[in-house]
């Protein structure tokens, strides 16, 4: 698929020209024609046809020795050499193209392919973690552009300020005049709306590619698990325009937006590269980073643009959150998105949800329990002194022990002794304490429901149920539905409820107060984040 209309954005990137690869030991340079390709499906190739090898010193075994960190050894008048191709570290690759310079200097892995039957012809295949392309002309960056893998949504918004933006995908009048086919005109006109957001006081937008419908069908039909579907665009603020190199990108570019888009759509969204363009839309720089190549799976859509129109608002709100782009939110978002994926079993989904809760409980210091707090002040002091004395005695033993390994073990025992009153908390109790701390009423609602509708397994409290289920997925891994050990409907019900609680907690952390789609409700609804009140029926939570 090729973008036919606006040629400012290409879904297939190609660079080629004369390249130089610099190596560390033995030092030297490889020269040759290099062809680099990145495509819309997340695949790339970087290949050099070697034309010249320039080692800093003569090598007895030519390319075999150049690509190896091992040196020839002379013993008893004979030279022994065992090549280890690829062990000579490549420290840079620079390619001069007709339009600019492609370069990479970090974590370069390569595979040399030497044809001994063809006069030692050699091709080198490079595996690049991150690289960049800089145009020759001096241009000032005005906009950043992130192509989006697997972003599937509706686009319902329009902003007059953006109608004539130089990087709009939508057709202009001259495009329409050059298009004779009615079908082509309809396709061009279809994706005219946007998702808008604010970033650093600048108006940004997400717009689908012209053939968005075809790309969406490719994902839904399974033809590909990854394809570019849309672009996200905003202005580069004055301070950031001096920091558009790879090493500075994380300091200001909103890469955290990708996780938020994943949360909103229920599908992992990433980006293959980042472009910087000038006021006229001309390319200034393109940075390729080895973002995770997502595997498409339709999960739970928490924010529908048809029903809620809150995706852009979520991006805007999140920037003011003290949790944005920090832990534990990053790992919680990852597990939360994955837990609704159709690629996982119900056990895997619940496991990921439990991991997310573990992270939150640890962050709020709810993952351990200090047993001392249950004692009166006199016994607390007695136990503290006893533990400190015991730990001190064990450390003294460690000092007098000759065996270093024994000494290390004794020191670890001493450290554990002084904290012997701390123990890992029951998962269910930790989660219910977390909900109370955050002002969520789910536990009380479900416990009341269980009193009126006793469970067949005799468990009286919701905390006990989720502790039991966590133990199954973490330690056993299988609910044994085939033999009827557990009720699949109950497990799914609990999983959906826990997923929804996590969604509400994350929205609360991000400062999002728009509406969303609860996990356990299948028909489209607009629920506020705080919709679960103390008087809510358990039936509305799926029970």
The reported pTM is: 0.87
Q: What is the pLDDT of residues 287-335, one digit of tens each?
A: 998 777 999 999 999 999 999 999 999 999 999 999 999 999 999 999 9
Per-range mean pLDDT, top range of 30-34, 74-78, 397-401? 30-34
Residue 107 CB partners (closer than 8 Å, separation 6+)? 129, 130
Measured CA to CA, the distance from residue 448 to residue 31 in angstroms comes to 74
Q: What are the residue ranges spanned by the domains of the chain?
A: 13-133, 137-319, 361-366+425-541, 368-424
pLDDT tens-digit series, residues 88-130 = 999 999 999 999 999 999 999 999 999 876 677 899 999 999 9
Cβ(340)–Cβ(519) under 8 Å? yes
The pLDDT of residue 376 is 84
Mean pLDDT of 406-432: 81
Q: Which two tokens stand for residue 93?
A: 């690759």
Report the percentage of the chain scoring pLDDT > 90. 73
pLDDT of residue 170: 73
Measured distance CA(35)–CA(57) in Å, rounded: 28
Q: Give 500's pLDDT tier (boundaries 50, 70, 90).
A: very high
- 534: buried, middle or exposed (CB in 10 Å: 19+, 13-18, 0-12)? exposed
- Residue 44 Cα distances to 24, 123, 288, 443, angstroms: 25, 16, 10, 49
Question: Rounded mean pLDDT of 219-234?
Answer: 98
> For residue range 206-226, what is the model confidence (pLDDT) as tens digits?
999 999 999 999 999 999 999
In angstroms, the Cα distances linking 325 to 47, 204, 257, 289 are: 35, 19, 9, 18
Hey, what are 153's tokens?
């949504």
Return the pLDDT at 268.
97
DSSP state of 475: I
Identify the residue with better confidence: 374 or 543: 543
**Distance between CA atoms of 517 and 496, rounded to whole angstroms?**
12
Q: Comparing 512 with 79, which gets the higher pLDDT?
A: 512
Q: What is the average per-residue pLDDT within 273-297?
A: 93
Per-chain mean pLDDT for the chain: 91
Residue with the bigger pLDDT between 447 and 388: it is: 447
Of residues 62 and 308, which shows the higher confidence score?
Answer: 308
Q: What is d(CA 90, CA 110) in angstroms, rounded to the nearest whole number?
A: 8
Which of 36-50, 58-72, 76-90, 230-244 is predicted least confidently? 230-244
The residue that leads in pLDDT, 98 or 389, is 98
Instruction: Evaluate whether 516 touches 302 at the Cβ level (below 8 Å).
Output: yes
For residue 2, what pLDDT is reported? Answer: 37
Q: For the residues 337-361, what does the mean pLDDT come to?
A: 97
């Amino acid at each position: 698929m090729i973008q036919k209309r606006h040629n400012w954005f290409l879904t297939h990137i190609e660079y080629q020209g004369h390249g130089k690869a610099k190596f560390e030991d033995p030092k030297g340079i490889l020269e040759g024609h290099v062809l680099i390709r990145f495509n819309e499906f997340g695949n790339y190739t970087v290949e050099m046809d070697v034309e010249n090898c320039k080692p800093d010193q003569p090598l007895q075994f030519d390319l075999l020795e150049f690509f190896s960190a091992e040196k020839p050894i002379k013993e008893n008048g004979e030279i022994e050499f065992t090549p280890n191709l690829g062990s000579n570290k490549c420290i840079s690759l620079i390619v001069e193209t007709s339009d600019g310079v492609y370069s990479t200097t970090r974590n370069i892995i390569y595979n040399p392919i030497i044809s001994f039957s063809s006069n030692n012809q050699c091709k080198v295949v490079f595996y690049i973690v991150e690289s960049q392309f800089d145009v020759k002309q001096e241009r000032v960056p005005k906009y950043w552009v992130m192509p989006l893998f697997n972003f599937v949504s509706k686009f319902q918004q329009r902003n007059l300020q953006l109608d004539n933006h130089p990087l709009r995908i939508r057709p202009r009048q001259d495009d329409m005049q050059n298009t004779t086919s009615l079908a082509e005109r309809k396709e061009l006109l279809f994706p005219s709306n946007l998702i808008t957001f604010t970033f650093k006081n600048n108006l940004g937008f997400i717009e689908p590619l012209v053939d968005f419908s075809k790309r969406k069908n490719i994902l839904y039909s399974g033809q590909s698990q990854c394809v570019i579907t849309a672009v996200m665009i905003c202005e580069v603020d004055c301070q950031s325009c001096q920091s558009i190199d790879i090493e500075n990108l994380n300091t200001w570019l909103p890469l955290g937006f990708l996780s938020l888009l994943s949360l909103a759509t229920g599908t992992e969204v990433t980006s293959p590269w980042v472009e910087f363009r000038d006021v006229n839309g001309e390319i200034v720089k393109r940075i390729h980073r080895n973002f995770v190549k997502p595997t498409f799976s339709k999960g739970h859509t928490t924010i529908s643009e048809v029903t809620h129109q809150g995706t852009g608002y979520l991006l805007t709100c999140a920037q003011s959150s003290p949790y944005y782009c920090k832990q534990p939110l990053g790992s919680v978002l990852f597990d939360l998105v994955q837990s609704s994926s159709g690629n996982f079993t119900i056990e895997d989904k619940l496991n990921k949800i439990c991991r997310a809760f573990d992270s939150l409980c640890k962050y709020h210091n709810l993952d351990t329990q200090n047993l001392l707090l249950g004692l009166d002040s006199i016994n607390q002091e007695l136990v503290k002194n006893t533990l400190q004395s015991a730990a001190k005695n064990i450390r003294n033993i460690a000092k007098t022990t000759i065996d270093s390994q024994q000494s290390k073990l004794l020191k670890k025992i001493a450290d554990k002794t002084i904290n012997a009153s701390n123990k890992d908390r029951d998962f269910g109790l930790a989660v219910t304490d977390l909900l109370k701390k955050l002002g969520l009423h789910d536990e009380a609602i479900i416990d009341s429901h269980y009193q009126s509708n006793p469970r067949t397994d005799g468990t009286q409290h919701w905390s006990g149920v989720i502790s039991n289920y966590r133990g199954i997925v973490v330690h056993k891994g299988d609910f044994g539905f085939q033999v009827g050990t557990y009720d699949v409907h109950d497990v799914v019900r609990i999983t959906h409820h826990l997923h929804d609680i996590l969604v509400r907690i994350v929205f609360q952390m991000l400062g999002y107060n728009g509406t969303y789609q609860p996990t356990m409700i299948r028909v489209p609804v607009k629920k506020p984040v705080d919709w679960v009140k103390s008087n809510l029926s358990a039936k509305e939570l799926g029970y």
